[in-house]
Amino acid sequence: MSFLSVLMSILIPLSAFLSGFAAVGSPKAVEDDFVPVMRFVATSDTHVDAYGDKACYRIAKLMKSAYKIAASDKDYDRIDAFTFNGDMTDNGRSDQYQAFAAFTQANLKGDTKLLGIVARSHDSGTMGGEALDYFKAVSGQAATDYHEVINGFHFIGVSNSGTDRHYTDEQVQWLNDQLAEAARDGGDKPIFVFQHEHVRNTVFGSSDFDGWGMTDFTEVLSQYPQAIHISGHSHYPADDPRSIWQGAFTAINDGGMAYYELTVDDERVVHPSDSRKMAQALFIEVDANNRVLVRVYDVTDRAFIREYLIDNKNEPNKYSHDLRAAAAAKNPPTFAPDAEMTMKRIAGGYAFIVPQAECDAEDEVFLYRIVVADMENNIVYSDKVLADNYRANPPETAYFTVDKPSSSGRYCAAIVAEDCWGVQSAPLYLYFDVK
């Protein structure tokens, strides 16, 4: 086998775990004829720990930014609702609920609705089942399992059961009844369903391996193709192309406000070094044709970073994971034609640097892989780094640090870009000598 063949065989890893994931649109202006008739903001996992902490500040920042963004829209200047989809608090203490309520109410304007979900994981950590009634008392929300109609669109939220089960059979039946009522009333209009946990094997973070998905409502939701399920829990970034899914219904990951987490290859619960800086929310709009525009908002940098346009009437499978994976395989990431790998000496070794690669507008580079080998096909180093495209201002380069090989001689470094489907670019190579 040739030297380059050996490098390539190592750069292309097994990625079967990616086979269930998704696709997206890009942060660009939508069609000029999209005029909102309803707009709301969805997020989760604020994890308020104490009055006035970073979580409270982010809540206020998001809500103030949302109203400012809405006011700049000459066609529709309203925020109709904010939904907080579970883990509002960090431990479910009374003072944490009070702080959440204080900051949300202080920043709520006009007749905008505030709809919260009490999750089992953090929100019930201290009070258990009593958290449901306590949240209603401090927030003024009439029910923690709610069904609201806003501008003719149905909003259905399901909190934890308050028992030793996440959800009960009665809640499954209740959701079915509410969806049936919404479908009778609205026909093909989208029905928005809010839950803390993802539906298993839908969005990024929900797979059996990832561990953040549940199956309680899968069968019910699958009867309603107009249902759009919005959830958090995983902290996986909402702008990752796998964070929207279409099958029997539509599912979207809302990103969350506290930090972000990833599955990388066969390693789950990966927290990149900048993960605590991440805070995301979804701005969701519907037009008169029942198209749904979902824009992912970077709360930290106050910028939209990705958008999805859901048109169930004309493109019901636009975000099918299988279809997007097949499309991605035909359009691998690419480095610019004049792109080069550079190397510089650093203490104890070398730094290898490549410019960011590009993907098709519907996709995104997820990570970069490097292999360093000697001329006898012996691999002396291999590693990966994340592309870090989850912020408004991602880095312009990917950067690897490599210890100096123990033996002198000639070596080759090869770097590829890889998208979220495991599809890789052609490599960039650099030969270098160690003395």
- For the domain that residue 7 is a member of, what is the CATH number? 2.60.40.10
pLDDT at 6: 45
pLDDT at 391: 83
Domain range enclosing 403: 3-13+333-434
Based on the domain organization, do 301 and 414 belong to the same domain?
A: no
pLDDT digits (tens, 9 = 90+) for 264-306: 999 998 988 888 889 999 999 999 999 999 999 999 999 999 9
Task: Give a yes or no: residue 268 inside a domain.
Answer: yes
**How many structural domains is the chain composed of?**
2
pLDDT at 25: 31
Sheet holding 409-419, edge to edge: 379-386, 365-374, 409-419, 428-434
From 297, 319, 341, give the residue that closes a domain. Answer: 319
> Bridge partners of 252?
230, 244
Based on the domain organization, do 189 and 216 belong to the same domain?
A: yes
Based on the domain organization, do 349 and 264 belong to the same domain?
A: no
- For residues 420 and 362, what is the distance between their CA atoms, to the nearest angstrom? 11
Based on the domain organization, do 298 and 378 belong to the same domain?
A: no
Based on the domain organization, do 369 and 398 belong to the same domain?
A: yes
pLDDT at 32: 66
DSSP sequence for 147-193: EEEETTEEEEEE---SSSSSS-HHHHHHHHHHHHHHHHHHTTS-EEE
pLDDT at 137: 97
pLDDT at 20: 30
Based on the domain organization, do 63 and 141 belong to the same domain?
A: yes
Based on the domain organization, do 173 and 92 belong to the same domain?
A: yes
- In 3D space, the residue among 232, 241, 284, 222 whose CA is nearest the CA of residue 259 turns out to be 232
Q: Which residues of the chain have pLDDT under 50?
A: 1-4, 6, 12-29
CATH of the domain at 266: 3.60.21.10
**Structural element, H or E, at residue 431:** strand 428-434
Based on the domain organization, do 172 and 151 belong to the same domain?
A: yes
Based on the domain organization, do 295 and 269 belong to the same domain?
A: yes
Q: How far is CA 197 from the centre of its chain?
A: 13
pTM of the model: 0.91
pLDDT at 362: 80
Based on the domain organization, do 301 and 218 belong to the same domain?
A: yes
Task: Give a yes or no: residue 327 inside a domain.
Answer: no
pLDDT at 23: 28
